[in-house]
């Protein structure tokens, strides 16, 4: 019996759809393809998620309460959020497609649609992800805490704020930007330290321990910052 091959394009996705049955069906199909799915039931929830979290792509319904998908896309692009966006909508007229693409969307799929077509279009979007997209991250929520890469500040899960060093910020960006993936020590050396100063394994471990003390409810049983023995480190939301 052959093993099921993992999806090389698996990613963390935002799914914003106000119809619960459709949202649940789509989330189930996306998860079956190996994706992690964050759900939003209206436009404001979707925009807040885009502002505070990192996604490989966002699937947005156009007709949503609180804020429509076009407005979410327009605001996200004005704020410099470059997450690839695929619109789902019953408004399938040519003028609506042009408007969505003009606002900065990457693709547009009219309702009704086949799930297989959505998955194929999503794969095409994810294949286009730049390898250095993590460097564009400006902020992120981590459990009850958060990090601001513009101000280089971390707010702990207890609410205390501390400044981040340049390398702390770069390492956090790298781990969050590759959420769910094991980042090797070699990648960390090249992308964070640049090989100009070679830290010991203990040095990197100390950074991870500091992140756990800041963001974990229980640093001894981490939910977000994981060490993978002999390989590297992994971040999960």
- Cα 29 from Cα 117, distance rounded (Å): 12
Closest of 228, 212, 201 to residue 172, by C-alpha: 212
The domain spans of the chain are: 12-127, 133-235
Task: Return the structure tokens found at 35.
Answer: 């994706």
Q: Which fold has domain 12-127?
A: Rossmann fold (3.40.50)
CA angle 75, 38, 82 (to 5 degrees): 35
Residues 89-140 have pLDDT tens digits of: 877 666 777 888 888 888 988 888 899 999 999 988 887 665 555 556 778 8
* Res. 142 pLDDT band, cuts 50 70 90: very high
Residues 204-236 have pLDDT tens digits of: 889 999 999 999 999 999 999 999 888 889 999
Burial tier of 5 (Cβ tally within 10 Å: 0-12, 13-18, 19+): exposed
CA dihedral sign of residues 13, 19, 21, 22: negative
For position 162, what pLDDT does the model report? 94
Architecture of domain 133-235: Orthogonal Bundle (1.10)
Residues 53-77 have pLDDT tens digits of: 888 899 999 999 999 999 999 998 8
- Cα 81 from Cα 45, distance rounded (Å): 15
For position 75, what pLDDT does the model report? 92
Task: Return the structure tokens found at 44.
Answer: 């404001």
Higher model confidence: residue 231 or residue 5?
A: 231
For position 66, what pLDDT does the model report? 92
């Amino acid at each position: 019996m052959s093993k099921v091959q993992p999806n090389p394009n698996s990613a963390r996705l935002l799914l914003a759809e106000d119809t619960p049955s459709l949202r649940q069906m789509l989330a189930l199909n996306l998860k079956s393809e190996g994706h992690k799915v964050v759900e939003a039931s209206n436009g404001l929830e979707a925009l807040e998620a885009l502002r505070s979290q990192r996604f490989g792509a966002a699937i947005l319904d156009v007709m949503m309460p609180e804020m429509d998908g076009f407005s979410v896309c327009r605001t996200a692009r004005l704020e410099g959020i470059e997450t690839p966006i695929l619109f789902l909508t019953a408004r399938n007229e040519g003028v609506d497609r042009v408007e969505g693409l003009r606002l900065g969307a990457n693709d547009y799929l009219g309702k009704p649609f086949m799930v297989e077509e959505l998955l194929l279009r999503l794969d095409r979007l994810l294949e286009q992800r730049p390898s250095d997209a993590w460097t564009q991250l400006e902020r992120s929520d981590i459990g009850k805490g958060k990090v601001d890469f513009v101000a280089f500040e971390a707010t702990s899960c207890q609410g205390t704020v501390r400044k981040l060093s340049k390398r702390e910020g770069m390492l956090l960006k790298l781990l969050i930007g590759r959420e769910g993936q094991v980042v090797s020590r070699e990648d960390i050396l090249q992308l964070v330290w640049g090989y100009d100063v070679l830290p010991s394994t203990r040095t990197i471990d100390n950074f991870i321990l500091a992140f756990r003390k800041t963001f974990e409810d229980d640093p001894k049983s981490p939910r977000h910052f994981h060490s993978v023995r002999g390989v590297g480190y992994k971040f999960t939301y």
